[in-house]
């Protein structure tokens, strides 16, 4: 079975490509490298001793997409390619809607032209918005996320539902990721943010290796057990395996029609203070921090009800918080400048 992975050079994509290769799938990666390096694909090939077809290009480029679908017999598409910085999306909404929504529609149009009908989409816990109570369950209505980034995920989930309704052959899965962290246990691939990291773990890891002076904890007065925000952090390798489980579920359930949503999380909420402590324990490095103002748009606490993925996909997050910290630190220590080597 041959799978086209858009955004496959990125953080979650590269770990998923590795997992797909380990499960004997053939992989074609399509990525414009706007937020990644081709080095991630080279490392995945070295780790698995398997080949990946890599094509550089943008999902908005339908001519290039057509070329791929005519040269390769693609059976399914896993669609990671997107812009993903929540804060940036508030300032550049048009870029986000252009890349994420228009880009996805271009991809779906070309898939339809070539009669490729299996789709796995990178959605996000952000689709539950502020309206829903925690833990989030897939039966809840989608919310109204505050950011254009989050809104783009809600809109694409809707587009997929409508497309599956209109085209009876088209079917797929929306995977709603909670907070992926960690890196492959080899330390060869991991998260490589450009500039100042927006997300917690990359920031903590950069403090640990001396690239940043101290962590700012955004808010210490939330209505949570220790006053800091709580999230459902899951290991990126577990998340990658969730994609393989989704591909297998589609293969097994040929009679399934439509789009099914699954939360991919651990079902456990962990506070920012607990993350800092766990990282210090795992790395034996002290992480200086200060309590700073709350960050706009942050919710106090959210986590997954992960039962549906466990029941239907037979997928559960397996790695511990300690492993998430050890693997993050290993990657950051081995490659303090990510894929840039300098």
Which of the following is catalytic: 11, 97, 128, 149? 149
Q: Where are the beta strands (DSSP E) in the chain?
A: 2-6, 26-31, 53-56, 76-79, 118-124, 171-177, 179-181, 215-218, 230-231, 233-235, 258-264, 270-271, 289-292
> Of these partners, ligand WQD, ligand NAD, none, which one is at the site of residue 262 (CB under 5 to 8 Å by kind)?
none
Q: How far is the CB of 130 from ligand NAD (least distance, A)?
A: 17
Q: Which listed residue (198, 310, 316, 333) binds ligand WQD by CB under 6 A? A: 198
Is-catalytic flag, 149? yes
What is the 3-state secondary structure of 124-181? EHHHHCCCCCCCECCCCCCCCCCCHHHHHHHHHHHHHHHHHHHCCCCEEEEEEECEEE
> Of these partners, ligand WQD, ligand NAD, none, which one is at the site of residue 231 (CB under 5 to 8 Å by kind)?
ligand WQD
Is the alpha carbon torsion for 119, 56, 14, 265 positive or negative?
negative
Residue 308 interacts with ligand WQD (CB under 6 A)? no
Given a contact cutoff of 8 angstroms between Cβ atoms, the answer to whether 44 and 68 are in contact is no
For ligand WQD, the binding residues in 260-279 under the rule CB under 6 A are 272
Q: Which listed residue (62, 295, 308, 312) binds ligand WQD by CB under 6 A? A: 295
Name which of 166 and 175 has its Cβ closer to ligand NAD: 175
In our burial notation (b when 16+ CB lie closer than 10 A, e otherwise), range 115-131 reads ebbbbbbbbbbbbbbee
Could you give the CA distance from residue 135 to residue 232 in angstroms, rounded to a whole number? 10
Among candidate residues 184, 222, 191, the one with its CA nearest the CA of residue 206: 191
Could you give the CA distance from residue 279 to residue 200 in angstroms, rounded to a whole number? 11
Could you give the CA distance from residue 35 to residue 100 in angstroms, rounded to a whole number? 14
| Bridge partners for 56 per DSSP | 31
Q: How far is the CB of 8 from ligand WQD (least distance, A)?
A: 17
Name which of 72 and 92 has its Cβ closer to ligand WQD: 92
Residue ranges binding ligand NAD (CB under 6 A): 6-7, 9-13, 31-36, 58-60, 80-84, 99, 103, 122, 124, 177, 179-180
> Of these partners, ligand NAD, ligand WQD, none, which one is at the site of residue 10 (CB under 5 to 8 Å by kind)?
ligand NAD
For ligand WQD, the binding residues in 164-183 under the rule CB under 6 A are 179
Q: How far is the CB of 298 from ligand NAD (least distance, A)?
A: 14
Q: How long is the chain? A: 342
Q: How far is the CB of 224 from ligand NAD (least distance, A)?
A: 20
x/- string (CB under 6 A) for ligand WQD, residues 41-80? ----------------------------------------
Beta-strand pair 215-218/289-292: parallel
Q: How far is the CB of 13 from ligand WQD (least distance, A)?
A: 14
Query: Residue with CB nearest ligand NAD?
Result: 10
Residue 247 interacts with ligand WQD (CB under 6 A)? no
Could you give the CA distance from residue 222 to residue 170 in angstroms, rounded to a whole number? 43
Residue 235 interacts with ligand WQD (CB under 6 A)? no
Which spans of this chain sit near ligand WQD (rule: CB under 6 A)? 84, 86, 124, 126, 179, 198-200, 203, 215-218, 229, 231, 272, 295, 298
Active-site residue list: 149
């Amino acid at each position: 079975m041959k799978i086209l992975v858009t955004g496959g050079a990125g953080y979650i994509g590269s770990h998923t490509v590795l997992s797909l290769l380990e499960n004997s799938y053939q992989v074609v990666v399509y990525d414009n490298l706007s937020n990644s390096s081709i080095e991630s694909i080279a490392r995945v090939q070295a780790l698995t001793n398997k080949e990946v077809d890599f094509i550089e290009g943008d999902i908005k480029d339908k001519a290039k997409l057509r070329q791929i679908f005519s040269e390769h017999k693609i059976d399914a598409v896993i669609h990671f390619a997107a812009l993903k910085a929540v804060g940036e999306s508030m300032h550049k909404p048009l870029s986000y809607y252009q890349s994420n929504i228009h880009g996805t529609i271009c991809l779906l149009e070309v898939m339809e032209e070539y009669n490729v009908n299996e789709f796995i989409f990178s959605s996000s816990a952000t689709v539950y918005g502020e309206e829903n109570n925690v833990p989030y369950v897939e039966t809840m209505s989608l919310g109204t996320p505050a950011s254009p980034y989050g809104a783009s995920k809600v809109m694409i989930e809707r587009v997929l539902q409508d497309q599956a309704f209109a085209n009876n052959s088209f079917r797929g899965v929306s995977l709603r990721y909670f907070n992926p962290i960690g890196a492959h246990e080899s330390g060869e691939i991991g998260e490589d943010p450009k500039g100042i990291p927006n997300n917690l773990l990359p920031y903590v890891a950069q403090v640990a290796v001396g690239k940043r002076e101290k962590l700012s904890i955004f808010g210490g007065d939330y209505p949570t057990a220790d006053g800091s925000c709580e999230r459902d952090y899951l290991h990126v390798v577990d998340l990658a395996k969730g994609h393989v489980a989704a591909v297998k579920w589609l293969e097994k359930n040929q009679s399934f029609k439509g789009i099914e949503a699954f939360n991919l999380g651990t079902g456990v909420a962990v506070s920012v203070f607990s993350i800092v402590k766990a990282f210090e324990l795992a790395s034996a490095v002290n992480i200086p921090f200060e309590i700073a103002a709350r960050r706009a748009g942050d919710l106090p606490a959210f986590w997954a009800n992960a039962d549906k993925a466990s029941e239907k996909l037979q997928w559960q997050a397996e790695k511990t918080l300690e492993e998430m910290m050890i693997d993050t630190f290993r990657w950051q220590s081995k490659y303090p400048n990510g894929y840039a080597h300098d």
